């Protein structure tokens, strides 16, 4: 049997998804394990983790060799444990005796710098590093409305909307499904707030895009691409995420709701619907190959697309460790297909040996 390991920062994260994978592993000729990076012995390469027992449908504490196929589902925070895990995972990805389903993507700024020289550059919001308050203030004065987002952020956490009014500056964010607003009476007060804010964490600056519907609810389109059992890219599905009225996030973790894409697009005139679909087809047919040429091999990509009021289409975010909630809301019938996908692609990689893989040493892996 092929040893298939799911690696995460917390042993019990994504419990339901990983249990579903484990239940299907034996039917694919695989034994499923799960572990965290800090439980690997660097000398013996033995791991203390859990092994799935297909008879009892339960996880058993065990010590085992590093699985030959690894599915990286590590989501890093700012905590000490995440900081310990990062270099271990980077080290694992240099090893030629291990095969990862996907090798991940760099941070949002590196992604932007790489994609802006490609045929997809027109779909990217202008992005720059918010390295100091002066840059933020200059852009805010010129554009009146801007967005600040963490370079390494996920799930919409830490995104700020800034709007310059005649006599004040309005700052808005969302935390725990609540919209938090603050008014700064002048630029000096904003700078005083920005200095420690930008020193604490690296932020990107982007123009504000009109991505709200007629009810002033922010929305975007989430699309999931995955490789199949033959290593070929395909779309698994798409759905519209809709946030709260007056909010800035559409993420489900921020309280967003989901609408099936056909239901949403059915409200448009035929010409507009065809235009949007052609643009999306163009992006999706090129993005995976561009990413894999620029970085290392991938297994899946979650793409967030913004469709502005003026009809412009924007690539808002690209995630190499996407969730599946949007698809399962719109197409619950696809659940087993999604759960089988990592196993089938892992089996493909084990049969291909090292032919499918790019050498880590050819490029720099970054987070």
pLDDT tens track for 337-361: 999 999 999 999 998 865 444 443 3
Q: CA 109 to CA 282: how far, in whole Å?
A: 23
> Is pLDDT at 62 greater than 80 in this prediction?
yes
pLDDT band of residue 267 (cuts 50, 70, 90) is confident
The residue written with tokens 């994978």 in the block is 21
Q: What's residue 344's pLDDT?
A: 97
Q: What's residue 234's pLDDT?
A: 95
Q: What's residue 180's pLDDT?
A: 87
- Greater confidence (214 vs 147) lies with 147
> Is pLDDT at 71 greater than 90 in this prediction?
yes
Helix (H, G, I), strand (E, B) or coil at 294: helix
> Is pLDDT at 146 greater than 80 in this prediction?
yes
Predicted confidence (pLDDT) per residue in 303-344, tens digit: 999 998 888 999 999 999 999 999 999 999 999 999 999 999
Q: CA 75 to CA 301: how far, in whole Å?
A: 15
Tokens of 229: 């059992």
Angle at 287 between CA 250 and CA 243, to 5 degrees: 5
The bridge status of strand 145-150 relative to strand 203-207 is antiparallel
Q: CA 188 to CA 14: how far, in whole Å?
A: 44
Q: What is the pTM of this model?
A: 0.89
| Full DSSP string of 314-339 | EEEEEESS---HHHHHH-GGGHHHHH
Mean of pLDDT values over 52-63 = 95
Q: CA 21 to CA 16: how far, in whole Å?
A: 9
CB-CB contact of 119 with 182 (8 Å) = no
């Amino acid at each position: 049997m092929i040893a298939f390991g799911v690696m995460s920062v917390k042993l019990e994260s994504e419990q339901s998804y990983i249990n579903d994978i484990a239940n299907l592993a034996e039917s694919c000729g695989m034994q499923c394990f799960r572990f965290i990076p800090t439980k690997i012995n660097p000398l013996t390469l033995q791991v203390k983790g859990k092994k799935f027992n297909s008879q009892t449908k339960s996880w058993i504490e065990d010590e085992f060799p590093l699985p030959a196929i690894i599915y990286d589902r590590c989501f890093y925070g700012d905590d000490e444990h995440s900081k310990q895990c990062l270099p271990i995972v980077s080290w694992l990805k240099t090893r030629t005796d291990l095969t990862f389903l996907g090798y991940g993507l760099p941070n949002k700024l590196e992604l932007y710098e790489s994609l802006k020289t490609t045929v997809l550059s027109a779909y990217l919001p202008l992005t720059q590093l918010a390295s100091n308050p002066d840059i933020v203030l200059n852009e805010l004065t010129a554009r009146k409305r801007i967005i600040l987002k963490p370079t390494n952020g996920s799930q919409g956490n830490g995104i700020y909307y800034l709007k310059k009014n005649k006599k004040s500056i309005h700052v808005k964010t969302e935390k725990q499904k609540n919209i938090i607003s603050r008014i700064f009476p002048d630029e000096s007060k904003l700078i005083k707030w920005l200095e420690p804010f930008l020193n604490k964490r690296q932020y990107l600056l982007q123009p504000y895009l009109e991505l709200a519907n007629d009810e002033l609810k922010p929305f975007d389109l989430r699309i999931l691409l995955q490789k199949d059992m033959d290593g070929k890219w395909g779309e698994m599905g798409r759905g519209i995420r809709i946030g709260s009225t007056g909010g800035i996030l559409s993420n489900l973790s921020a309280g967003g709701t989901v609408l099936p894409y056909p239901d949403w697009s059915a409200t448009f005139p035929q010409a507009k619907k065809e235009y949007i679909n052609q643009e999306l087809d163009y992006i999706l047919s090129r993005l995976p190959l561009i990413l894999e040429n620029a970085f290392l091999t991938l297994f899946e990509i979650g793409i967030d697309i913004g469709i502005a009021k003026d009809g412009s289409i924007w690539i808002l975010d690209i995630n190499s460790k996407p969730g599946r909630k949007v698809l399962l809301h719109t197409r619950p019938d696809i659940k087993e297909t999604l759960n089988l996908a990592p196993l089938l692609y892992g089996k493909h990689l084990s049969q291909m040996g090292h032919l499918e893989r790019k050498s880590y040493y050819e490029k720099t892996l970054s987070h």
